[in-house]
Structure 1
Amino acid sequence: MCRAYVAAKLLVAGLVMTGLFACSSPTVMQYAKEKPTLDLSEYFNGTIDAYGIFTDRSGEVKKRFTVLLVAQWKVVDGKKVGTLDESFEYSDGTKQKRIWTLTETAPGKFIGRADDVVGDAIGESAGNALNWAYTLALPVDGTIYHVQFNDWMYLVTPKVMINKAKMSKFGIDLGEVTLSFYKR
């Protein structure tokens, strides 16, 4: 009886540990050795076309869109500062504009700001990957919702980058945005 009890406790502890590890998120440093190396100020410089979809929790595509992105960087007070001017066009004909200001605060560390971003977007890059975390003021049917984004970008070739962003509110998964960037 005692051995069965100990075995049951070990099984439960193992399941709990497996569950904890399964829920852990990747870190940007896991991609530090991946190539090609993403230099944000190099990739997001000039004109970039992007093609994307928004899928809900079930995986159903709810919106398709294209983005024309025009970007440039300069050095301000010894720091790299980029402006990313994004023009969105959705499959339903609606249009949207977002202008990001990105500041490299240290090598591989960034702060991003835009009019519809609540507070600062915090970014970190290593190897071919960039991770952004931010809250977006998202308009839906006349109401503004503050939605959290966990945004991952992966440089595939010097001209192509893939972006996956998970959206959530109160820790509940709302859906995902998938984008493919192509640098002209």
Structure 2
Amino acid sequence: MKKQFLELLEKDLEFRYAVAGYLGLSEVLRRLDSIGESIRKLWENQEKLWENQEKLWTEVKALREEQGRLWEEVRALNVRVARVERTLEKLTLDVEEEARIVVEHRLREMGYELKVAPLILPVVEVDIYGATGDLCVVGEARVRASSRVIDELNEKVELLKRISPDKLRPRLLKVVYASQPLPDLVERAEREGVWVLKATGDVVKPEV
């Protein structure tokens, strides 16, 4: 009998409440059951939080791995950009040196002996410069040139007139040396009397 009574207390909720009510403990049991249910829900919520936290850590790990790959790509891109910049710098230096040699040679063919060199002043730099007697040559060198180079050249000439007029002469020959002169440059140079040439010869004849 005792064993059956204990089993009923353990397994039968209504019987347990009936006995508790008889003993005056029914309210206490109800509260304890409610607390137990709350604790169970808390544990369920805690488990969900742990699961969400695990997912977040997985996502953070994936983001860090992706960030690492992106940094590797950025470093590789920087290396390529630096290589391109060095190549462009070398090409620019090469074309400027080539321009000075070709311009000096062509001027000599036209009967003008003058040393062509870069002109470097605090506020202006010119790729091609030379002067003799009443003639001076001022110009720019480019690998590929459009008509905008004439705007740049005109601005530099105006600066020279203001800050170093002694560098200029009564006869001013503007020149653009371009390995690849674009059509708009050629058309404008013909209109404005700008000498355009490349290694193989004149593109627009000089007016001297």
TM-score under structure 1 normalisation? 0.28
- Structure that is richer in helix per residue: 2
Higher-Rg structure is: 2
Higher strand proportion, which one?
1
TM-score, length-normalised on structure 2? 0.26
